[in-house]
Amino acid sequence: MIVVLRLNHRKERDKRISTHIGLVSRAFFADKIIYSGEHDDVLINSVNKVSKAWGGEFLAEYSKDYKKIIKEYKLKGFKIVHLTMYGLLLNDKISQIKSEKNILIVVGGEKVPFDVYQAADYNVSVTSQPHSEVAALAIILDRLIEGNELIHEIKGVKKRIKPNALGKSFYE
Amino acid sequence: MIVVLRLNHRKERDKRISTHIGLVSRAFFADKIIYSGEHDDVLINSVNKVSKAWGGEFLAEYSKDYKKIIKEYKLKGFKIVHLTMYGLLLNDKISQIKSEKNILIVVGGEKVPFDVYQAADYNVSVTSQPHSEVAALAIILDRLIEGNELIHEIKGVKKRIKPNALGKSFYE
């Protein structure tokens, strides 16, 4: 089971990035996203609306207290994988991470508190260069599913695009 | 050579997403990004500032006329790869795309004009599900470099993070 925890969401400034993080989590087969930071019903609803329309059992939730969430998931036996530019290279840790049964992937916002680094079983970086938490999340999830991003493997998928060389169409 | 063309940038609404697209292009070894849409010096400068500080020869530019850019790159022999949710699955086209010497990756904004679909040699989708153009770009670039995202391979890299199990440090 893969759960994503997004830290420090800010309603105005982060709305699009946080939405992308939720949709990437769903499209690359995470099971759930928990948003922390400012409570934002519009965000939660918009991610859940996509899940409902397109199918699958992905869920977006909110929690005020990220420390509680990390503690709770640790107690459940989840390993904590914190995505940070400063961490060990993902390529060096991915096989170990893959061997874990349940993981909580923590995606930081600005200024991640040091307790997150300390709580993490893995502090990992995608490229060790500055880019995007959306991209870093997509890459680790893609590695976990071994690049196998086929839609029909999303359980309960309802709406499916028919791949098109040109134009737009859907499966009936 | 890999060039990224970002369509229809809107100064206010897209500033963070477009920045992420630029930084992802750089971190995953594209050579250049061209932004189209609203002229936004703040965006161009902020991406180029990262390149300057962190190293490499990546360049961000602006062009008012995306059609001219597509035409120009076609004439130079580039193949046009358009990322769209409606396209053929990336996994089915990646080996063909990999065999191309020079590509222009077109990353849409909202409502991509049909002429872009028509101009493309490849309309490709990452997952056929709705998520994020930042993620889609990261995945295709990652596939093109075969997951080999090591920083020291960025030519001319200046500033390098030392991968850390805990904490933050840089190479001198």
Residue with more model confidence, A73 or B160 = A73
Pairwise CB contact (< 8 Å): B132 & A20: yes
> With 80 as the cut, is the pLDDT of residue B155 above it?
no
Helices A15-27, B15-27: inter-axial angle, 10-degree rounding:
50
Q: Which of B63, B74, B1 is nearest to B34 (CA)?
A: B63
> With 90 as the cut, is the pLDDT of residue B151 above it?
no
Contacts of B108 in chain A (CB under 8 A): none
Q: How many Cβ atoms from other residues are within 10 Å of residue B32's Cβ?
A: 18
- Size of the A and B interface in Cβ pairs below 8 Å: 167
Query: Residue B162's pLDDT is what?
Result: 87
> With 70 as the cut, is the pLDDT of residue A81 above it?
yes
**Whole-angstrom distance, CA of residue A75 vs CA of residue A69:** 10
- Write out the two tokens for B100: 């191309």
Domain spans of chain A, in order of start: 2-153
Give the pLDDT band (50/70/90) at residue A48: very high
**Whole-angstrom distance, CA of residue B49 vs CA of residue B55:** 10
The CATH number of the domain covering residues in B2-153: 3.40.1280.10
Indicate the pTM of the whole model.
Answer: 0.96
Query: Residue A152's pLDDT is what?
Result: 58
Calculate the average pLDDT of chain A: 93
Query: Residue A151's pLDDT is what?
Result: 59
Q: What average pLDDT score do residues B124-137 get?
A: 95
For B147, the closest of A91, A134, A168 (CB atoms) is A91
- Write out the two tokens for B141: 């670039």
Contacts of A92 in chain B (CB under 8 A): 163
Pairwise CB contact (< 8 Å): A123 & B89: no
ipTM comes to 0.95
Q: What is the DSSP letter of A76?
A: T
Query: Residue A171's pLDDT is what?
Result: 81
> With 90 as the cut, is the pLDDT of residue B84 above it?
yes
Q: Which of B150, B9, B129, B159 is nearest to A91 (CA)?
A: B150
